[in-house]
Amino acid sequence: MQNYKTIILSNQEVSPDYFRMRILAPGFGAKAKSGQFLMFRVQRSLPPLLRRPFGIFRTGHLAPDCEGMPPKEYVEILYKCVGRGTNIMCELHEGDHVELLGPLGKGFEHDPDKQDKILVGGGIGLVPLFMLASELVEEYNVRLLMGGRTRDDILAVTEFERLGVETYVSTDDGSLGEEGFVTEVLKRKLKKYPEAEVFACGPTPMLKAVNEICSQQKVALQVSLEEHMACGVGACLGCVVKGAGHTEENPSYLCTCKVGPVFQAERLDWSAIGEANDSCGGCA
């Protein structure tokens, strides 16, 4: 974990209300793992005081401006403008100063004995799956099931396809790909690949449906939760979720930013997931 006082390299709208931001972050890529996140703070003014959490889409290098200079290392995030913090972010430009803390949290792990990997992402939940796909695609059969309400919510299709990932798109209104929920595609794929390992990130209702499907078919599932976070380091306890077997007599609380954000599905109390918050913590 490192605190970066740095600058924005680019900030572009890629779909209505969705933005892709590249931030100068030397050394970040060597530390970051798929499924981890960063905390972002705008330094233009004091409010909003708290940092916002964002999943890491990817890291990379840009050619230097001058010959003999080292390449520019960057971290890239995708985000949706939905609240005060992100509305400030979407107005930022190249060269603006920002502050990052990261990489943070526990990322994805995979079973090397399972050849088929199925990634399920809804809306902005696709973000942490890109690095995971990058890590897996050379050695495993990787299939991405991406879903959204409309075509505007389907992000980074080209980037995933360039990796060589077999990609399936569905939208609730049928404006892009298959009409219907992404979970219906998952059911079909698991019938064909019953030994697959599943990784998912997206809205709480989608994650609950994915968990129910995988549980019924006894398929291994890891989920990346989207919770509101104030600190990102486990100090404020604002992002705790209930663990499996939680009772008032024997409470089990899991801190999303420290124990997660990636969890084995069986570790969670799914009846309580989302009871306090049903929105992306990175989009406030």
103-161: pLDDT as tens digits: 999 999 999 999 999 999 999 999 999 999 999 999 999 999 999 999 999 999 999 99
Residue 193 has pLDDT above 60, yes or no: yes
Type of residue found at 25: A
CATH class of 116-283: alpha beta
- Buried residues in 56-65 as b, exposed as e (16+ CB within 10 A): bbbbeeeeee
DSSP code, position 261: B
- The full set of domain ranges for the chain reads 2-104, 116-283
DSSP string, 140-201: SEEEEEEEESSGGG---HHHHHHHT-EEEEEETTSSSSEES-HHHHHHHHHHH-TT-EEEEE
Domain 2-104 is found in CATH 3.30.1280.10: no
The tokens for 70 are 């080292």
The predicted pLDDT at position 284 comes to 41
Across-strand partners of 119? 144, 199
Other CB atoms within 10 A of residue 97 CB: 12
- In this predicted structure, the answer to whether residue 283 has a pLDDT above a threshold of 60 is no
Confirm whether pTM is higher than 0.85. Answer: yes
Q: CA 11, CA 168: separation in Å to the nearest integer?
A: 27
